[in-house]
Amino acid sequence: MSLLLNLWTILAVSLGVFFFLAGTLGLLRFPDVFTRLHALTKADNLGLGLVVLGLLPQMNSIHAMLKLLLIWLLVLFSGAIVSQMLAQAVRSGKLD
């Protein structure tokens, strides 16, 4: 059982790291703010999400698991807000 859980952790965290890599690559290579924001959200949503899902079975209490999930949700939320604000600032010409 614990072998299976460990396998799950390795798989999910590796996949999460892949999305972080892809997001970073996009951030560096994409031509404008909108596409770069699109790349960043991949790292936040999928990357961090998979890392959190992968780490869940390694926690020794429900309390710690809930904290991890809360961190993911908070990052999702702030990422969504910040992307909106950046995109709005660019569209209104306050930023380039």
Partner 1 sequence: MTPSLALNLALALLLLGMAGWAVLVRSTQAAVIGFMVYGLLLTLAWARLDGLDVALTEAAIGGGLTGFLLLGAAVRLRSVEHRAMLQAPGLATRILAALAAGSITLLLAFAVLTLPSPAPSLAPAVAENIAMTQVGNPITAVLLAFRALDTLLEALVLVLAMIGIWSLADDRVWGGRPGFAIAHDASGILHYAARILVPIGVVIGGYIFWIGADDPGGKFQGATLLAAMWLLLVLAGLRDAPRVSSQTLRLWVVLGPLVFIGVGGLGSWVAGSFLGYPQGYAKLMIVAVELALLPSLTLILGLLIMGAPKREIGR
Crossing angle of helices 33-42 and 62-91, in 10° steps, is: 170
Residue of 78, 79, 90, 93 interacting with partner 1 (CB under 8 A): 78
Binding mask 2-41 for partner 1 (x = CB under 8 A): ----------------------------------------
Rounded Cα gap, residues 88 and 42, in angstroms: 20
In terms of Cα–Cα distance, which of 47, 63, 65 is closest to 55?
A: 65
Binding mask 58-77 for partner 1 (x = CB under 8 A): ----------------x--x
